[in-house]
Structure 1
Amino acid sequence: MDAAAFLRAAEALPATEDPRAVLGPRGALVLAPHPDDESIGCGGLVAAAVAAGLPVRVVIMSDGSGSHPGLPPARVQAVREAEALAATAALGLGPEAVHFLRLRDTAVPGEGPEFEAAVAAVLALAVPPPSALLCTWKHDPHRDHQASSAMAEAVVRRLPGTRLLAYPVWGWGYACPLRGFPLGTPPELPGPPRGHRFEIGPVLEAKRRAIAAHRSQHSDRLGDPTAFQLLPEMLALAERDYEILLDETP
């Protein structure tokens, strides 16, 4: 089936509101290619897991500086890291649970020495090993998302007993076309999808507050007219009352 049909089928996966049923008893390590992916892709699950007493740690892979090309990268990085801390606080996490690898935005490595160094850094943060490692979907149409997914798979291969769960972000554009964001022909995928439909109604407001905290991505260009901004349609997809977690354990 193509990616659009795959995601539509994933929306019919068994539903649960129990974060333990999705993550397992040892909680989760969440990899976010950019500051905001953690909130958009799985913020509801993070909030529910924290409320249930499960351990959750978040690793922001890139420095986020590519969103505002007209500004000094260090300024954008500082803003986006502050937003990420505010967002994860809205989900119930303290700053000690959030880590920044500061890889270059738009150039997260998918192979080579920098890739291996990043994998080693994530492994050092995966102590004790979580039940689940969460990362963006490998078919998301963004190179940083794909590179981060490859890192997640490499980490899971070295952590027996840890499952890999993928959360689509930009990939939703295959099933729900986004204005001004053409994706071309959806890739063909083996099916059916495995994983969970996680109902986030009880924590949806926390997720909305987390997304709102990333102001530079949707309502504040920081004075840069060339800045990237999330479309309202994308925000609406992110704020549905469920999240999809695809089991892609190698």
Structure 2
Amino acid sequence: MRARDFWAQAGALPVRPLDEILAPGGVLVLAPHADDESLGCGGLIAASLAAGRALRVVFLSDGAASHPDHPGAALRDRREAEALEALRRLGAGPEAASFLRLPDSRVPDTGAAFRQAVDRIGAIAADIDAGTVLATWGGDPHCDHQACAAMQAALPPGRRHLAYPVWGHALPGETVLPQPPRGAWLDITRWLPEKRAAVQAHRSQLGDLPGGFALDATMLARAERPAELYLQA
């Protein structure tokens, strides 16, 4: 299936309530970088917290590759502080965040470091009795996002696995994808102000730092949509 057809069909997927999209129990969100959680599933995070669900966000990479002109440790600390502020704006305290500090743009998808990360994620999932684990979509054209999806797939069975696309819409229209989209949309109209505020907390990714990455207008406009897409992983 061509990517353009995939996204056309994804647009026609049904809107479902939160409790149909998520399995019972806690919610574990895997984010390759600080900002992916806000862009891809900020509305779901806010809605889950408001519903009283246990929730944890695991940030996989240290985020230190986004701005090569800035010292890695300082950039890492800034991005972690931004992540905590974003979660606060969504309704979560600092205890909801875990930082694995894997190398940005080199998050492992095999090997010993990969297995150690999967084991840590599995322990966090057990700690909050997670019924659902969300990760970036494996079709996102970024190696860290694909590694995130691989970590989700490597977890022990028994939980619902959902994927949230962040960069997938940037795929060339003729890219061949293996199967049609399956999943649902979550109406986040109620939570859109919180999501918008969370995205704005990631100031380093919005042009505040020179000489590096900045989210473009297309990505920011997509984050303003009143619904979020969750695909079956």
TM-score, normalization by structure 1? 0.89
User: 2:189 matched to 1:190?
Assistant: no
1:118 matched residue in structure 2: 117
Identical positions, percent: 49
The whole-number CA distance in structure 2 between the counterparts of 1:185 and 1:130 is 37
1:179 matched residue in structure 2: none
- Unaligned runs of at least 5 residues, structure 2: none
Superposed CA offset, 1:36-69 (max 9, x none)? 0000001111111111111211000000011111
1:169 matched residue in structure 2: 166
Q: Which amino acid aligns with 1:186?
A: T
User: 2:209 matched to 1:212?
Assistant: no
Aligned-CA RMSD value = 1.2
After TM superposition, where is structure 1 displaced by more than 4 Å over at least 4 residues in a row?
none
Where do residues 66-77 of structure 1 align in structure 2 (5 Å cutoff)?
66-77=65-76
Superposed CA offset, 1:12-42 (max 9, x none)? 11102x3211112203100000000000001
Q: Given that residues 2 and 173 in structure 2 are in contact (C-alpha distance below 8 angstroms), is that contact kept between their aligned partners in structure 1?
A: no
User: 2:35 matched to 1:36?
Assistant: yes
2:231 matched residue in structure 1: 246
The whole-number CA distance in structure 2 between the counterparts of 1:131 and 1:63 is 26
The whole-number CA distance in structure 2 between the counterparts of 1:65 and 1:207 is 24
- Unaligned runs of at least 5 residues, structure 1: 175-182
Q: Please, which moves more after superposition, 4-13 or 116-125?
A: 4-13
Q: Which amino acid aligns with 2:130?
A: P
Q: Which amino acid aligns with 1:124?
A: A
1:65 matched residue in structure 2: 64
Deviation for aligned residue 1:238: 1.4
1:135 matched residue in structure 2: 135
2:221 matched residue in structure 1: 236
- Aligned to 1:105, the other structure's residue is in SS state coil
The whole-number CA distance in structure 1 between the counterparts of 2:178 and 2:86 is 33
Tell me how many residue pairs correspond in the alignment: 232
Q: Given that residues 3 and 186 in structure 1 are in contact (C-alpha distance below 8 angstroms), is that contact kept between their aligned partners in structure 2?
A: yes
Q: Given that residues 85 and 95 in structure 1 are in contact (C-alpha distance below 8 angstroms), is that contact kept between their aligned partners in structure 2?
A: yes
Deviation for aligned residue 1:184: 7.3
The whole-number CA distance in structure 2 between the counterparts of 1:244 and 1:209 is 19
The whole-number CA distance in structure 2 between the counterparts of 1:87 and 1:40 is 11
Superposed CA offset, 1:177-199 (max 9, x none)? xxxxxx474232212x2211111
Q: Given that residues 22 and 131 in structure 2 are in contact (C-alpha distance below 8 angstroms), is that contact kept between their aligned partners in structure 1?
A: yes
TM-score, normalization by structure 2? 0.96
Q: Given that residues 4 and 173 in structure 2 are in contact (C-alpha distance below 8 angstroms), is that contact kept between their aligned partners in structure 1?
A: no
User: 2:8 matched to 1:8?
Assistant: yes
